[in-house]
Amino acid sequence: MFENLSTLPEDPIDVIMEQFRQDPNTFKVDLGVGVYRDENGKSPIMKAVHLAEQKLTENAASKEYLTPAGNTDYCSLIENDLFGAGHSRSLVSVQTPGGGPALRAAADLVKRLSPNGRIWVSAPTWSHHLLVMSAARLEVLRYPYYQIGEGDIQREAMYSKFENEACAGDVILLHACCHNPTGQDLNGEDWTELARICNKKGLIPFVDVAYQGFAEGYEQDVAGLRQLLEAVPEMIVASTSSKSFGIYRERAGMLTMVSELEAEAASTLKEQLLEVTRGLYFMAADHGAALVVEILQNDKLKTLWHSELEAARNRMMTMRNFLARQLEKHLADSRYNYIAEQRGMFSIFPLNPEQISRLRQDCSVYLIPGGRINVAGLTSDNIDYVAEALTRELRI
């Protein structure tokens, strides 16, 4: 069996990580991997998480299985953080091992309920969106979102694509905030218009909430999601605590089906969803979810966590502003000033593979293919160096 295996393309992020590790240059800069880094270039454990872990260890009494739906306290708390209180929608949620499995479980459920299902994904988007949706054997279509180098959303082209080519029952994948890889987010008017189109065409929004708290604030970053909640009859939401709590390897996420179903039908939906997740992983690990529960249920830890999240957000904003100013100074024009207005960890530059290769080989500045940079990889020590290196390529 195994002798018939064919070679697959290497994952570009894995390649970049390995090249970075092997680079002997003592002044090398990783702008590729999508994790938050502090001013020292480290991806630290939050103090609130450390304290929560101590409490969990002290009070742990069992490692018994939970149900396949996972940690119900986690689901209830994250539902409240995402959707708020006072709405009348039916929410069917299960804990997942991070955001990726939430996306895959949703895609598998869509395929199960709609064998000819189609999903629209932004151009550009996180590369794993394409991988996951294709692996579920959904038909993947692209909608225009952002022209690299122009600094704004292609609104009219996006709306037109949905109006003219999307069909009833199609799913449209949207980024709640901190769009990956562009950093260019939808505004309130965009969410309103997308809700109108979804209702008119019978489309189902599927919102990926991966970076809550990294854009404008933890509550503000789900404003668009809540607009949809009030406006459309059905919605799918995949969320993760990986970034907001800095618990990447702990794999804490959630998948939620939003509907107007009555209790009995909602119970049937949950049974269908759990049958999908049991076929994928049976039960999500509990440690990460338990950490989040400990923090959100403890006022002191929650306050500390909010302050740490705000500090991370402000640092990324500072790096954005400084990079925009440095590029304006070196290029003698303001064409990339929009970087300061974008949000989250990512922005994207119009760099071809040869330019990205030169940045790596000549400057030890590491980007993934496509030109995405992680602004959290910038520090006060390296930002001038990076700006000068980028300038040399952007002038070409």
Q: 362 an active-site residue?
A: no
The catalytic position among 81, 111, 170, 243 is: 243
Number of H helices, E strands in the chain: 13, 11
Q: Which DSSP letter does residue 26 get?
A: S
Q: Are 109 and 273 in contact (CB under 8 A)?
A: yes
Cα–Cα dist 249/238, whole Å: 17
Q: Are 205 and 256 in contact (CB under 8 A)?
A: no
Q: Is the peptide bond before 124 cis (omega within 30 degrees of 0)?
A: yes
Instruction: Please count the other Cβ atoms lying within 10 Å of the Cβ belonging to residue 243.
Output: 24
Question: Measuring CA to CA, how many Å separate 130 from each of 35, 138, 217, 261, 349?
Answer: 20, 10, 28, 30, 21
Render the burial of 282-302: b for 16+ CB within 10 Å, e for the rest: ebbbbbbbbbbbbbbebeebe
The catalytic position among 126, 185, 191, 286 is: 126
How many residues are given for the chain? 396
The catalytic position among 108, 208, 221, 286 is: 208
**131 is written with which tokens?**
């991988």
Cα–Cα dist 182/9, whole Å: 24
Q: 208 an active-site residue?
A: yes
Q: 126 an active-site residue?
A: yes
Q: Which amino acid is at 56?
A: L
**229 is written with which tokens?**
């909640």
What residues act catalytically?
126, 208, 243
